[in-house]
Amino acid sequence: MITGASAGIGVAAARRLARAGLKVVLVARRLDRLQRLADEIQTAGGDVQVLVADLSRESERVRVHETAPDADVLVNNAGFGWYGYGCNMPWDVAGSMIRVNVEALVHLTLLYLPVMRRRGFGHVVNVGSIAGSMPNQGVTVYSATKAFADAFTTSLYRELRGTGVHISIVRPGPVSTEFYALARERQAGMPVPAERFAISAERVADCIWSVLCRPRRVAFVPGYLWLTRWVEPYFDWFIDRLGPLLLRRAARAPQP
């Protein structure tokens, strides 16, 4: 099961896992996009199921689980971002982000883990971000949601050791998806400077497949980003000074 499967990392992950022979269940709000992806996967010989759901709603998450209760793999990919001064972030945007980035991830994980535990196998892959371990200016709530995903994954990883059930978090850097366009378009949002360094969604999908084949708690994309775990503890003083400058520069940039 892949959430947020109508765009970006979700689409790339669906293609990658279907190509590897897994039946994929696509979950997102936009039926037209899901159906196009499903047709593509079926044409290539893959097995696919489409579930339209708004994962910000608890009842919709329960319905997804009741419709497809036996998933061996859950990829919690659904989420969105916003860039700008935290004090300018509208509550409806912040609240929706928390419901999708945090509540949906936790709820779906807790719905599927008991079944995986009873069977003695299964894998949950949470799509995080280096922003979770490097909280930066402009992505206040987003960074907090990804830090939550880091802590949630780590705790469950330690609980599940020896059970045959795995949980992992993939921490990509900037990824070339519609994330950046949507971050700009949301109320009071701004352009995200990191967009210029973005990697392809396919590289993240390859990493998701890698952790399914070789389970581990955390994987970085690109791999050299493991160095970021040392950046915050040792260079936070530098980030404290540079970060505000980057945010002010983004605020002055002309809006497209």
pLDDT for residue 177: 79
Please, are residues 135 and 149 in contact by the beta-carbon 8 Å criterion? no
Q: Minimal CA–CA distance to 60: which of 114, 123, 126, 108?
A: 108
108 within some domain: yes
205 within some domain: yes
196 within some domain: yes
CATH code (residue 206):
3.40.50.720
pLDDT for residue 190: 55
90 within some domain: yes
248 within some domain: yes
218 within some domain: yes
Tell me the pTM: 0.85
Residue 140's domain comprises: 67-252
pLDDT for residue 186: 57
Mind giving me the DSSP string for 193-252?
GGGGGPBPHHHHHHHHHHHHHS--SEEEESGGGGGHHHHHHHHHHHHHHHHHHHHHHHHH
Identify whether 234 is a catalytic site residue: no
pLDDT for residue 237: 46
Give the chain's domain count: 1
Average pLDDT across each block of 10 residues of the chain; the chain has 256 residues. List them in order: 96 98 97 98 97 98 97 96 90 96 98 97 97 84 96 97 97 82 59 70 97 97 75 57 55 52
41 within some domain: no
- Given 112, 142, 157, 180, which residue is catalytic? 142
188 within some domain: yes
pLDDT for residue 183: 61
